[in-house]
Amino acid sequence: MQLLTPEGEMAYPAVFRPAPPMDGDTTKEPQYQLTLLWPHSDKNKLKRLEAKIQEVAEEKWGKTAAAKLKKGQLKHPIRDGDDRDAEWMQEHYYLTARSSSRPGCVDADLVDIIDSGQVYAGAIGRMDIWLYAYDKAGNKGVGAIVNNVQVTGEGERKDGRKSAADAFGEGDDESPKPKKAGGKKSDKKGKKKKDK
């Protein structure tokens, strides 16, 4: 079942280059992925998504699927960030969608994004996903495949990375800030020309 997620805060983006599995399993192939986060206070935003997840589960396992999802007998793709170590995931719900194929990626004006720097942990966006039921090697539940990504707004970066302008503009003890252009010119011998 294909649908759009609500807007959320992006985390662990790997939409331009596949990333190795987060669990460190080297037998699995790297995949494209994106995680979206929603504050616990925004739970109402997830009602439609949760209803579709239940629908997919019931198509596979019948009317008992809803109860099994609540009890954890079937894996639910929306999880609680309180179970994660990352402080900024606390008090949030999150969903991770993966794909072996590179997802499409556009901005708020539906223009293709080619600069990977626009898709960062903390940016605001949504996903076009495919929900599916799985039953493999004792693992049962509902998973999500990312088809497309839309970046709809900027947010506070969660990876601590600065822009190049910010990083070099601050300077440090060993490297003073660069001087502005427009100083006195030097002649061929390297001496500054005197003002007349």
Is the Cβ–Cβ distance between 8 and 37 less than 8 Å? Answer: yes
Domain 2-159 class, CATH top level? mainly beta
Residue 177, classed as helix, strand or coil, is coil
Q: Provide the phi-psi class of 141: left if phi over 0, else alpha when psi is between -120 and 50, else beta.
A: left
Torsion angle (degrees, nearest 10) of CA 128, 134, 138, 140 = 70
Is the Cβ–Cβ distance between 8 and 46 less than 8 Å? Answer: no
CA-to-CA distance for 55 and 61, rounded, in angstroms? Answer: 10
Q: Both tokens of residue 194? A: 């005197």
Centre a 10 Å sphere on the Cβ of residue 119 and count the other Cβ atoms it contains: 19
* 21-26 average pLDDT score: 70
Look at residue 196 and tell me whether its pLDDT is greater than 80: no
Burial 93-103 (b: 16+ CB within 10 A, else e): bbbbbbbeeeb
pLDDT band, very low/low/confident/very high, at 171 (cuts 50, 70, 90): low
Segments making up each domain of the chain, as ranges: 2-159
Per residue in 110-166, pLDDT tens? 999 999 999 999 999 999 999 999 999 889 999 999 999 999 999 988 877 766 667
* 55-73 average pLDDT score: 95
Look at residue 91 and tell me whether its pLDDT is greater than 70: yes
Look at residue 167 and tell me whether its pLDDT is greater than 80: no
Q: What pLDDT is attached to residue 176?
A: 57
Per residue in 7-17, pLDDT tens? 999 999 999 99
- The contacts of residue 62 (CB under 8 Å, 6+ apart) are none
pLDDT band, very low/low/confident/very high, at 180 (cuts 50, 70, 90): low
Query: Is pTM, for the whole model, over 0.85?
Result: no
Centre a 10 Å sphere on the Cβ of residue 19 and count the other Cβ atoms it contains: 14
